[in-house]
Structure 1
Amino acid sequence: MTVLEQLKNYARTSRMALVNRDKQLSYRELDVRSDAFAAWLLDTFGEDRSPVMLCGDKETDFLPCIFGALKSGRAYVPIDSVVPEERAAQIIADVKPKVIVDFTGNNWGNDAQVLIPAALSKILKRPGTVSPESWVREADTAYILFTSGSTGRPKGVPVAAGNLDAFCRGLLPFYPQEGGVILHQVSYSFDVSGCAVYAGISRGMTLFTIDHAMAANLQECFAALEKSGLTLWVSTPSFAELCVQSERFSQALLPCLGQFLFCGEVLTHTLCDTLAQRFPSARILNTYGPTEATVLVTAAEITEEMRKDSRPIPIGGSIDGVTLRLERDGQVITGEEETGELQILGPTVGPGYWGRPDLTEKSFFTDRETGLRGYRTGDLCYQKGSRYYYCGRADNQLKLNGYRIEIEDVEANLQRLPGIRRAAVLPVRDGEGKAQYLAAFLLLEEPDGLTPLKRSIALKRQAAEFLPAYMIPRKFFAVDAFPLNVNGKIDKKALAARLEGTP
C-alpha cells in the first residue's frame, strides 16, 4: 500500500508527521507506534481480521492506530466523538469489532475488548515489528465509513487499499510540493480527511490538527494557525466561510499558504471572490467525489474567468485513472451542456455497501464494454469542454404546487444576490410530509439593518430577477453562522429543527 511504503521512507528522516496542540509526532514515531499496535493486533487476534473500531476526535494516538490497523491487515472504522451514542451503537452492531479503541470515555456496552488511552499508551510503547506481508493488500478493505441512510440507519461504505492507492495517484499531482504543512481539520469519519491522512502522509507533509474544540473557538483557532506554517488548506467550504467572517483570516495570518482545496459541498462564487482578495497568492482548487468512489474524482483550479462566469463554480475534470460519463433515461449523453446523472468508473470505485447486497446491486455495476467498476452517483451534472458542473441531487427534487424544484438551483440563485454570502433552503412540510413552501436561511456579508419583514420584501423582489415566483422562498431567516455537522457541512437537520412550529 502506497501510504505505508511512504511512511516507511519518511520514517528515515527527521520530518514531523503530526502537530496536535502542544504535542508532536514524527514520522519515525508514527512508524514505530503503528508497528507496535499492528504487532499487538496480530498477537492478540491472530488470523481474525475483524475491523478495528476507533472512537475519538483528533487525539495524537489516533493516527498510529489507523496505520497500525492497516499494517496488521485490518480495516478500521472511525466514529467521531460527537456522534450520538445510539448511532454509534448501530454502527458497532453492524461491524461487530473485536476491539474498540475509545478516546471518548463512553461505555459502549459491547462484547469487544475496549482500549482506553492508558492501556493503548502501553501497547504503543511496546517494541514490535511487522512484515509488509501482513499489510492490507489491494483488494482488502482499508476502512469503512458510515454515511446517512434513507431508512435513518447509517450505511457502511468500505474502501479497499487499491482504491486508496488510485485516489493518491490521481490527487497528488495537484499537491504543489513534497513536504509542507496540511490542515487536518476534517473528521476522521468523513472521507475528505483522506486528503491529509493518505495524500498528505504520502507526500511527507505535516498534518496540523484543528480539533472540534478549537474549530468552535475561532480566536483560539487563528492563534494556532498563525504559528502553523500552513501551506495547504483542506476543508469543506462551510468551514472556510466560518473563518472568512473574521477580517483576520487573510494572507497575513497564513503567509505560507499556497493552495486551498475544497470538497464535500458546493463552492460558491462569493467564497472564491473573498479568498482571492484575502489570499492573492494562493490557488483555489475545487473538487468533487462521493465516499463510494474514494474521497474525490474531479478537480479544477478556479481562475478569475470562472469566478466571473455566471455558471456555478465547476467541479472540474476527472483525476487521472477515473472515467466519468453522464446518463439520462439509460442513454449515455454525448452532447455538451445536457444534464444527466453522473456515473464514475475506474479503480477508485469501492466494492459496495457493507452487508447490504441490495443497495450494492442498485448503485454499483461492472461496465460491460470496459470491464471497469462503476458507481451511479445520483448527482446531476453537465459537461462543457473538459469541465463538469454540478446541478444538484437527482433525489433532491421536490414538487411544490405542481412544479418540480431543485433545492440547489434555488440556493445558487439566492447566492447571486448582493450581500448574500451563503444560502441554505429547506422545504416546510405539513403533518403528512407534503411540501407547503420554501424557507431560506441566509448568511449575510454584513448586517443590513433591516427588520425581518423589510429584508424579506427586498429579497423577494431581487430574487424575482433570477427565479420564477414558484421557486422564491416564502420566508427568509438571517443567521450569524450556519450550524455545521460532524463532517463540516451545513447541518440542515439543525436548521429544520428551527422551522418546527413555523406557520
Structure 2
Amino acid sequence: SDIELLDEAERRQVLIEWNATERPSPQATLPELFEAQAARAPNAAALFCDGETLDYAELNRRANQLAHWLIGQGVGPEQRVALALPRRAELLVAVLGVLKSGAAYLPLDPAYPAERLAHMLADARPACLLGLGDGIEALPDSGVACWRLDDAALRQTLAAQPQSDPTPAQRRLRPEHPAYVIYTSGSSGQPKGVVISQRSAADFVDWALASFGAETFADVLATTSLSFDVSVFELLTPLLSGGRVRLLRDLLELGERPISGGSLISAVPSVFAQLLQHGAVSLEAKTVVFAGEALPPELVAAVRQRWPECRVANIYGPTETTVYAIGGWLEAGERAPTIGRPLGNTQTY
C-alpha cells in the first residue's frame, strides 16, 4: 500500500495531458443558434420526412407560432413540456417550439409500459403534454393538460400566432436553463430523469461540428428515437449548422426500401451488423458513427469493404455527460477499434 503505482510522468499524463480538452464554449442558447442559422439560409432545406420538405424559414415559422402559444399558456424556463409524437414533421416543430419557449422538452414513447410512462409524468411534472390523437390516447391518465396538435381548433389558434422569433424578454432563457430531460433505465431499477442544460447541449453540438466538420451534417439520416440522447446529435447538430435532417422511422427502415443521399448515419453496432449481413442497406454511406455498444472489429471491416471511402467513428457516453463522453475516428488498418479520447471540455479516467 505504500508503493506508488504511477511515477510522476505517468501520473501527469493520465491526469493532465490526456485531459487537456478545454475549448471555448458557445455563449448562445439552442434556439438562438437555430434562429441565426434560419436567418442565414431561410430557403435551404431543413427537414425531409414522408415526402414533405420544410425549409429553414418554414420550420422556424411553425416553431415560433407554437412557442408564442406555449408562452401564452405560461410555459417558460425551468418547466418541462412532454412530447408524445410520431416521427413526422410535427416532432421537430414541437422540439424547436418548446426550446424557443424557454422550456425543456421531455420525450415520451407511447409504446413504453404504462407504469413507466406514469412514473415519468409524475416525476417530471410537465407543464403540459403535446401529441397527436392516437399517441395521447395511449398514455396513462396523469392529470397533465394534454394538447392535440392535430386538433382543428388548436391548429387554427396556432396559425394566428406571431411568426417572428420570441424576444429575449418573452423567452427569459439563459444558458444554465434546462434544454431537455431524458429518462434512463436507472441503475436501481427506477427510471431516472437526466436534465441537460442549454449550455451543455450547445457545447456538445459545437464540439461535433468542430470534430466532424459542418459538411458531414449536410444530409443526416435521423433514425434514433427522441427518447434516446443520440437524437440530439442527429437532429440539432445539422439544424444548427445549415444541414438537412432526413427523419426516418428507425434504423431498420434502411433495410426496407432504397434510401438515397445521406452524409451521416449513426447506428447501434448490433443492428447495423444485421442490416449489412442481409445485404439490405442501399445507401452510399459517407460517415458512420457507432455508439451504444462495444464495436466488433468484424463490423468495421465489413463497413470498409462495403464503402472503402467511408469514415468510421466509435463514440461512447452516458446520457449524464450530454450524449457522448469519449470517442474518435478509426484509422484504416487498425486491428481493433479504440475507444478514442475525451471530447472537448470533458475529462475521462
**Which residue of 2 is the match for residue 146 of structure 1?**
183
Deviation for aligned residue 1:123: 4.7
Distance 1:186 1:151 in 2: 25
- Check 1:2–1:204 CA distance in 2 against 1; reply closer, same or farther (3 A cut): farther
3-state SS of paired residue (2:193): strand
Distance 2:238 2:127 in 1: 29
Q: Which aligned pairs between 1:79-98 and structure 2 lie closer than 5 A?
A: 79-98=108-127
Asked whether 1:24 is paired with 2:53, we answer yes
Unaligned runs of 5+ in 1: 326-503
**Which residue of 2 is the match for residue 386 of structure 1?**
none
User: RCO higher in 1 or 2 (8 Å CA, sep ≥ 6)?
Assistant: 2
Higher helix share: 2
Deviation for aligned residue 1:160: 0.4
Deviation for aligned residue 1:35: 1.0
**Which residue of 1 is the match for residue 209 of structure 2?**
172
Asked whether 1:185 is paired with 2:223, we answer yes
3-state SS of paired residue (2:288): strand
Deviation for aligned residue 1:219: 4.6
Asked whether 1:113 is paired with 2:145, we answer yes
Letter in 2 for 1:11: A
- Check 1:304–1:121 CA distance in 2 against 1; reply closer, same or farther (3 A cut): same
**Deviations 1:29-53 (Å, cap 9, x if unpaired)?**
1111111111111111266852100
Q: Which aligned pairs between 1:333-412 and structure 2 lie closer than 5 A?
A: none
3-state SS of paired residue (1:304): coil
3-state SS of paired residue (1:262): strand
Deviation for aligned residue 1:266: 1.2
- Check 1:302–1:11 CA distance in 2 against 1; reply closer, same or farther (3 A cut): same
- Check 1:15–1:159 CA distance in 2 against 1; reply closer, same or farther (3 A cut): same
Distance 1:162 1:284 in 2: 28
Deviation for aligned residue 1:152: 2.6
Asked whether 1:77 is paired with 2:113, we answer no
**Which residue of 2 is the match for residue 318 of structure 1?**
342
Distance 2:263 2:88 in 1: 22
- Check 1:216–1:248 CA distance in 2 against 1; reply closer, same or farther (3 A cut): closer
The two structures, once aligned, show a CA RMSD in angstroms of: 2.1
**Which residue of 1 is the match for residue 19 of structure 2?**
none
Q: How many pairs were matched up?
A: 311
- Check 1:77–1:300 CA distance in 2 against 1; reply closer, same or farther (3 A cut): same
Letter in 1 for 2:143: D
Is this contact kept in 1: 2:290–2:314, CA < 8 A? Answer: yes
Distance 1:320 1:259 in 2: 20
Unaligned runs of 5+ in 2: 1-27
Distance 2:172 2:97 in 1: 9
**Which residue of 2 is the match for residue 126 of structure 1?**
160
Distance 2:149 2:53 in 1: 17
Distance 1:237 1:297 in 2: 18
Distance 1:273 1:216 in 2: 21
2:79 to 50, 53, 66: 50
Is this contact kept in 2: 1:171–1:319, CA < 8 A? Answer: no
Deviation for aligned residue 1:76: 1.0
Q: Which aligned pairs between 1:457-472 and structure 2 lie closer than 5 A?
A: none
Asked whether 1:301 is paired with 2:329, we answer yes
**Which residue of 2 is the match for residue 275 of structure 1?**
303
Distance 1:82 1:114 in 2: 17
Is this contact kept in 1: 2:288–2:312, CA < 8 A? Answer: yes
> Percent identity over the alignment?
27
**Which residue of 1 is the match for residue 24 of structure 2?**
none
Letter in 1 for 2:234: A
**Which residue of 1 is the match for residue 37 of structure 2?**
10
3-state SS of paired residue (1:136): coil
Distance 1:6 1:246 in 2: 41
- Check 1:27–1:239 CA distance in 2 against 1; reply closer, same or farther (3 A cut): farther
Is this contact kept in 2: 1:70–1:135, CA < 8 A? Answer: no
Asked whether 1:161 is paired with 2:195, we answer no
Is this contact kept in 2: 1:75–1:142, CA < 8 A? Answer: yes
Distance 1:206 1:24 in 2: 10
Q: Which aligned pairs between 1:209-248 and structure 2 lie closer than 5 A?
A: 209-212=247-250, 215-216=251-252, 219-220=255-256, 222-223=257-258, 225=259, 227=260, 229-248=261-280
2:237 to 180, 196, 199: 199
Deviation for aligned residue 1:182: 0.5
Is this contact kept in 2: 1:98–1:111, CA < 8 A? Answer: no
Is this contact kept in 1: 2:221–2:246, CA < 8 A? Answer: yes
| TM-score (ref. length: structure 1) | 0.58
Is this contact kept in 1: 2:76–2:172, CA < 8 A? Answer: no
Deviation for aligned residue 1:122: 3.7
Is this contact kept in 1: 2:77–2:173, CA < 8 A? Answer: no
**Which residue of 1 is the match for residue 13 of structure 2?**
none
Is this contact kept in 1: 2:49–2:246, CA < 8 A? Answer: yes
**Deviations 1:360-388 (Å, cap 9, x if unpaired)?**
xxxxxxxxxxxxxxxxxxxxxxxxxxxxx
- Check 1:219–1:121 CA distance in 2 against 1; reply closer, same or farther (3 A cut): farther
Deviation for aligned residue 1:107: 4.4
Distance 1:290 1:301 in 2: 19
Distance 1:48 1:254 in 2: 41
- After TM superposition, the structure 1 stretch with the greater mean CA deviation from structure 2, 120-129 or 85-94, is 120-129
Is this contact kept in 1: 2:30–2:99, CA < 8 A? Answer: no
